Amino acid sequence: MYELMPGKKKFVKIENITDNGFVEFLFAIDSATTNVEFILPYKTFLEFCMRNKVSFVNEEQEKEIEKDDILWKYGTEEFIN
């Protein structure tokens, strides 16, 4: 496994760790709000994070992700708390 897009900031947000040892997470490059869903075995997830020098999403970024998801889903800020 190699680093994706060296020199770019990368983010991870763990969504769930399953009973059978898989990590469900969001992965983003440059902006935490533009992300893709991944599922990897726990050990592979750790290797992925180390190789890609990820930062884990902070509370402020998490709120931005939630806001962006609502805007994408509903097309309006009406449903944002």
Indicate the domain borders of the chain: 10-79
Are the beta carbons of 35 and 27 closer than 8 angstroms?
yes
For the residues 26-35, what does the mean pLDDT come to?
A: 95
Query: 39 - beta bridge partners?
Result: 24
52 Cβ neighbours under 8 A, 6+ residues apart? 3, 4, 10
Instruction: Please give the radius of gyration of the chain, using alpha carbons only, rounded to the nearest integer.
Output: 14
**Confidence label for 80 from pLDDT (cuts 50, 70 and 90):** low
Whether the CA torsion 45, 26, 33, 64 is positive or negative: it is negative
For 67, other C-beta atoms within 10 Å of its C-beta total: 15
Q: Is the pLDDT of residue 35 over 90?
A: yes
